[in-house]
Structure 1
Amino acid sequence: MKKFCAFLIVITTALLAACSEKPVEPIRIGFIGGLSGPNSDNGQSGLNGLTLAVEQFNRAGGANGRLVEIIAKDDAQSKETATTSSNELVAAKVEAVVGPFTSSMAAAIVPITGQAGIFQVSPTITAMEFFGKDDNLFRINRTTRDNAGDYAKVMHGRGQKHVAVAYDLRNRAFTQSWLDEYRTAVKALGASLAAEISYESAKDTDFEAVVAKMLEAKPDGLLFISGALDVARLAQAARKLAPQLPIAASEWAATEQLIDLGGQVVEGLLIVQNYDRDDASPRFKEFSDAYFKRFQRNPGYSSVSTYDAATVVLTALKNRKEGESVKAAALRSGPYQGLQQEMAFDANGDTVRKVYFTEIREGRYRRID
């Protein structure tokens, strides 16, 4: 009887100790991107990519038994909203942030998160303003210099040596950087720009007037440095006013929404992708199938890039040593195997990325040689 009572005391003590233990706190990471407004397709697709990556990570055991929780914030493509959302993420004491998705928002967000010592990975920003800086920011994408330079070569090779450009001032940190790099690359090829037409995207923007100004210079091609919704509207005006002119758009517009919105007017449009949509590898197919099953839609460049960004963040959290910063763990843990290509970062968080030029044909992005 004494042994039995002693046994009961041991069991009871163990149970009470277990009940008194606090549950393991999750690791909180932030997400910040445009979840409302005209370019919310990029932000929402990005949040989907992060959600899928975190759910898979947690099912696999998380960061050594600790689960990861996402705190998502909208920047609404507004400096004021982005500032508020960034401060809220800092107050929530997130250990890392995935986002933002446009360079103009990064200009408002990165100083806040960087000063707070929060490691941040942007899936999509490319502006030269963020290249070569030790600012606690890693970028998954290549730079505007890389992309604009490749566009200049491809379009020049197609005989377009006097291109007119329209660019949206609402994301000026990106569009101005892209235009400056494109102009420099075009001049290096012995050509020149026909026109540089700026506008600020809004519900009442007269896109036909924008295209009309582009056409005054008698260009041999039209290039739009704008988001998907604006490119669809600009393409509609271009098909009306100059149906035979070739059209192109910067990578900012390369979303699923572009084809849905543009329909026939974006047929033949030249645009670059930072991933291979036709990849039939088992790794990418598994991701695509899981993404479709979870969200009932196919992934786009934003979701692919964000999934890769999540790979960096989650690997760093899992590998982090006691007292080590997430950034230090991220630098130590690379290179990383992304969905389609390896990612290696320098000390400033910069990397290179292979891209693929496509044309929209029969309602699909199709690779060109």
Structure 2
Amino acid sequence: MAGYIKKEPVRLGLVATLSGTHAELGVQIRNGAQLAVEKINETGGIAVRPVELVICDDLGTREGALAADEKLITAGVAAIIGHSTSAQTLTGLTITGPAHIIMLGPSISSPIFTGKSEYFFRVHPSFLDGMQGFAQHIYNRQLTKIAILYDMNNAAYTETYRTAFTDKYQQLGGTIAGEAAFSSTVKPDFNPLLVKLHEKNADALLIIAADIDTAMIAQHARLMGWKIPLFAAAWAQTETLIYHGGQAVEGMEIEQAYTLTSQDPDYLDFKQRYQDRFGRFPSFGAAYGYEATMVLAAALHKTGGKTKGLRQALLEIRDFKGLTNNFSFNQYGDVVRPIYLNVIRNGKFTYLDTLTQGQ
């Protein structure tokens, strides 16, 4: 860094939920982005300028998201990586869109963001195609009567997920035995919700919630003797799910746009560096936080580190080398990537199947 250490840095904003019970995904995204910035600076920075990551915690609230994005824009960031949840992303776009600041979502998969803002991009694909395969997989297992429990606090993700799954599952001939919603903004009592769902005689339970809530739901379900197959949304796939879920989450199946068994040399190098740096296994959030930062850097190389022209530079990127596969942005800032099915076995996420092939 000696050749450019005195030059004005290119500032990249990062905003996610970094505190509270749902912080694990945001922390992983931040860690992945930090690794990417270190690598970028080791190899010359952007336009011979060092990269500085300006980090803000959105606190998992609307007010926190607005304050964080305003702070990052005031700090003069060239672009923003974030948020970690759909609810905060929707809020943040009301600030970043009018300011013509690119927001690049590392973990946002709800299809409601397609065409939402010309200044919004994402490296995580929409879950819509994967949801079709997920519903088909569950139905093919002769599980034709499912119950659904979801967190209504992140409705931009969970409501859309629930609706998309329900539509496909019923189209196949399946029945929604019962539904229940809770709010993660207060400490939820899952027992009465699970008792009501248990009475519906469902064949399986789909949980659409964050890692810690999914783990607690699984624990309560097993303690009450409900031993039906459990399925979970991608939002839950972090080490927190396994740590707090224990034996209750063994056998749980999760759809995910991130293959944990890739032998790609770039992925293996990233995984080792992440474990060396943070002493933990990287989740999909860490991988996509890393990729979001790297693809932004590639586009900023074209603009000389400036915000002006960044949107077009991102759109012109083709077959960018990600950690597990290549990707390009379409006209809406979306990517099309494979969706996988993972299962928890012996306390580890294990690849089970591929639900969609992507491009």
Q: Give the TM-score normalised by the residue count of structure 2.
A: 0.93
* 1:366 lines up with 2:350 in the alignment: yes
Matched-pair contact (CA < 8 Å) for 2:198–2:226: no
Higher mean C-alpha displacement, 352-361 vs 224-233:
352-361
| Cα deviation digits, residues 250-307 of structure 1 (max 9, x gap) | 1100111111111111111111222111122222111111111111112111001111
Alignment of 1:91-240 (within 5 A): 91-202=74-185, 204-240=187-223
User: What's the Cα RMSD here?
Assistant: 1.6
1:339 corresponds in structure 2 to 323
State the secondary structure of the residue aligned to 1:115. coil
Matched-pair contact (CA < 8 Å) for 1:148–1:179: no
1:295 corresponds in structure 2 to 278
State the secondary structure of the residue aligned to 2:121. strand
Where in structure 1 do 4 or more consecutive aligned residues deviate above 4 Å? 321-324
Given residue 177 of structure 2, which amino acid in structure 1 is its aligned partner?
A
Given residue 103 of structure 2, which amino acid in structure 1 is its aligned partner?
Q
2:334 corresponds in structure 1 to 350
Given residue 308 of structure 1, which amino acid in structure 2 is its aligned partner?
E
Q: Report the CA distance between 1:90 and its aligned residue.
A: 1.2
Matched-pair contact (CA < 8 Å) for 1:144–1:181: no
Return the index of the structure with the highest Cα Rg: 1
State the secondary structure of the residue aligned to 1:194. strand
Separation in 2, partners of 1:100, 1:82: 8
| Cα deviation digits, residues 138-172 of structure 1 (max 9, x gap) | 11112232232222111101111110000101111
Given residue 296 of structure 1, which amino acid in structure 2 is its aligned partner?
G
1:267 corresponds in structure 2 to 250
The percent identity for this pair of structures is: 33
Alignment of 1:33-112 (within 5 A): 33-112=16-95
Separation in 1, partners of 2:307, 2:160: 38
Separation in 2, partners of 1:228, 1:24: 41
Given residue 131 of structure 2, which amino acid in structure 1 is its aligned partner?
A
Q: Report the CA distance between 1:324 and its aligned residue.
A: 4.3
State the secondary structure of the residue aligned to 1:368. strand
Higher mean C-alpha displacement, 208-217 vs 58-67:
208-217
Matched-pair contact (CA < 8 Å) for 1:121–1:138: yes
State the secondary structure of the residue aligned to 2:97. helix
Separation in 2, partners of 1:268, 1:289: 27
Given residue 140 of structure 1, which amino acid in structure 2 is its aligned partner?
V
Out of 287, 299, 309, the residue aligned to residue 325 of structure 1 is: 309
* 1:28 lines up with 2:7 in the alignment: no
Out of 204, 209, 234, the residue aligned to residue 251 of structure 1 is: 234
Q: Give the TM-score normalised by the residue count of structure 1.
A: 0.91
Q: Report the CA distance between 1:119 and its aligned residue.
A: 1.1
Query: Unpaired segments of 5 or more residues in structure 1?
Result: 1-21
Separation in 2, partners of 1:334, 1:102: 26
In structure 2, relative to structure 1, the CA distance for the partners of 1:323 and 1:257 (3 Å cut) is closer
Separation in 2, partners of 1:335, 1:319: 16
Q: Report the CA distance between 1:355 and its aligned residue.
A: 2.0
State the secondary structure of the residue aligned to 2:26. helix
Higher mean C-alpha displacement, 272-281 vs 353-362:
272-281
1:4 corresponds in structure 2 to none
